[in-house]
Structure formats: structure tokens, C-alpha cells
Amino acid sequence: MGVLDGIRVLDLTNVLSGPFCTLHLALLGAEVVKVENPKAGDLARVLGNVPAYNKQLMGTSFLAQNANKKSLTLNLKAPAGKELFRRLVAGADVVVENFRPDVMPRLGLGYEALAEINPRLVYCGISGFGKDGPDAAKPAYDQIIQGLSGEMDVNGDERLHPLRAGFPVCDTVGGLNAAFAIMAALFHRERTGRGQAIDVALLDSIMPLMGWVAANLLIGGKGPVPMGNDNFTAAPSGVFRTGDGFINIAANKQEQWEAVTEVLELPELKSDPRFQERDERKKNRKALTPLLEAKLAERPTAHWVEALNAKDVPSGAILSLAEALSQPQVEHRRTLTSVRVDDEIGEVKLFNMTAKLSDSPGAITAPPPKLGQHTDEVLGGLGLSAAEIADLRAQGVV
């Protein structure tokens, strides 16, 4: 039994932040019904690096976020479509959308209207800036939020700054924030019997992830200094050259620093006044790094990883994405699972639920749906006959 077995989610979201949220609800056992426009559905259906999949409206971007979900096509601008959606809301537990804040109220389907139908409804709206405030109506994609949040200001170095993260971190974090809030609201409903509205802004969601960096400014009065692959909190902590590539070393504690000097056979650095204390090492990291790299260059990365880890100094190779996804620890954890989509696409690898629940683990049980694949099933559940559904199709409502 999944944690969310028996919970029905109406998912009106597109592309990433919303689908990433509802994916986690689906992995935990919720029945997630994607409510998609009849013409093309979720925009992610045509996003990805395999053109043939995009033409099938099953782009790689869509496949990645939509396992375990059902697809219902419904034109929410048509009166009949709105009425069907209201009927679905009456039996739903959660509605999730990531439109601009004014879209659902203009359709007559905002939280207040839907709560009159179903007071137990948990309604979550995800947007770039939240439902109100001076920027609420502005459009926003992940990169825009990366820039406005200060996230790009903490990346890069003196040569390349500002610098965006290499994946849509604001969208994914916003989706996780929304999933967390929905779970909290469902727990609150168990206690009170009442649903509520949730307002998630991508801008709000990403900022707390910069906790230490932001605290140095908010509390310590010092803004970020772009340091590239170095860790501003300690030294040596960052990326270093080895005999055959690079290594990450994070000697954040004094005893770890001393262990580094022993493993690298550089005991003289331990008593060097430039490097004796943590704060002094941070000030003199540019002098320290070449001394360490001269020794690291004598052996390959694998040697140093093993030797440093044996002395409790966190270290690791820097893998390509392909290497990272196939490493033994990831395979052991079953982070990825193979799912058969159809005869044309075949099997694809997708991410499992990464939090391991002992009694009710999440899992992928169904592939991402074709557009409208479950329309007849969902509408049939409302009592509509095959003839009525065919008539709705003829009208372009589904």
C-alpha cells in the first residue's frame, strides 16, 4: 500500500515544476490524473533531444516526469469542459496547477470557486513569483528565477560570472517544495477535515537553499565571492588536479586537514603558519592549492580517493553524467528503473522514488501516458456513456 493510496490528484501542470511535484505524489501511490488540453497536451511532450519521440508527443522531457499518471484531455475554456472539471473536483483530494496566478480565477476555477464544491480540497498553485505582489503577473522560466534569486551570483569564478546552474534547479526545487506542502496540507486535513490553498513561488523556494551563503550576507554582512569549484567555508575543499584528471577533496575539519598532509606526505604544511588554522588556510588557499596539486599529480585520482577516504577525508572522483548514472552505488540503491513505454519507444530508464520508506515504498508502476490515454476511463467514472464521450470528442471538449 502506497502512502497516498486513495488520494486523487487533478494535475493541470506543464513542463517541469508542477509535473515534478505530482510525480512524487504518483510515486507514493496517489492517482494522478493529468488534465491536458486536447490539441497538444503538456508542452513537455514536444521537448527533448529525440525528434521522433517529440512527434509522438512523448518527448524525453515528458517521459522523465510523468510515470504513474493518467492522461485526460479536457478543454477548460469550453463550458462543457469546465463543468466536467467541476464534477471531477467534487471527488478529488488535490488540484495542482502552474499557470500564472490569474489564469484559474479567470476560468472560474480558482480556489474559492472549487472550495465551494469541495471544502476538503487541497489546492496548490505554483508560479514564478507567487499569487500576489509587484511581480506576480510577470512570466518566469527557471533561468529567470536563477538570475533574480541571486543563485547565479554565487556560481562561477573571476573568469565566468554570473553563471547559471547546469540544470533547472529552481523548477525542480519548486516542485519538491509544492509536494512537501501538499503532504502537510493533507495531514492537516486529516486532523481538521478542511482543505486549503497553497501558494508556491519558485523565487521563494530556491532562496533557502543558499542558506550558508545568504547567512554570511544577512548576518555576517559579507556577500558571496565567486570561487568556482572551491568551497568558501574551508580549505582545502574543492577540485584539485591529479595525475590523470581531477578529484574533489573536502577537508572541512582540522583533523581532516592534518590527515591530508599525512596522506600526501607533506607534513611541513601542518606547521606552516599560512595553513595551521582554518581561517588562515582560507585566506591563503591560492598558495596552498599548487602545493597540494604538485603532490597529487604524482598519482591517479583512484589512488588518492582510496587513500584519503581511508583516513576519513571525504573525497571522490568527478564523474561524467553517464558514469554517475551507472555507478555501483546508484545501481545498488535502484535509483533508476526500466519502464516499457510502447513498441516504438521500448524501454526507458526513469528515476525511482529516491526516499526509501520501509513500510510503504514508492515505485514506478506504470509508464508515462499517451495524450488522452485515460479519457474514457476517467469520464466513464463520472457516469458518462461511450456515446456522450464520443459527442464531447466531436465538439473538441476532449
**Catalytic residue annotation:** 171
Cβ neighbours of 119 (radius 10 Å): 12
Is residue 322 classed exposed, middle or buried when 0-12, 13-18 and 19+ CB atoms within 10 A define those classes? exposed
The residue among 276, 287, 237 whose CA lies nearest residue 254 is 276
DSSP 218: H
Task: Let me know: does 55 contact 63? Beta carbons within 8 Å.
Answer: no
As a residue count, the chain comes to 398
Calpha distance 292→243 (Å, rounded): 12
For 187, phi and psi rounded to 5 degrees? -65, -40
In 3D space, the residue among 75, 133, 65 whose CA is nearest the CA of residue 101 turns out to be 133
Q: In terms of C-beta density within 10 A (0-12 exposed, 13-18 middle, 19 or more buried), how is residue 130 classed? A: middle
CA distance 296 to 64: 39
Return the H-helix or E-strand segment holding 102. none
The label of the residue with cell 469550453 reads: 78
Residue of 66, 1, 5 lying closest to 30 (CA atoms): 5
Measured between alpha carbons, how far is 365 from 159 in angstroms, rounded to an integer?
47
Burial of 370 (0-12, 13-18, 19+ CB in 10 A): middle
Distance CA 95, CA 182 (A): 10
Label residue 338 exposed, middle or buried (CB < 10 Å: 0-12, 13-18, 19+): exposed
Residue 364 backbone phi and psi in degrees, to 5: -85, 125
The closest alpha carbon to 64, from 163, 179, 168, 146, belongs to 168
What residue has cell string 588554522? 277
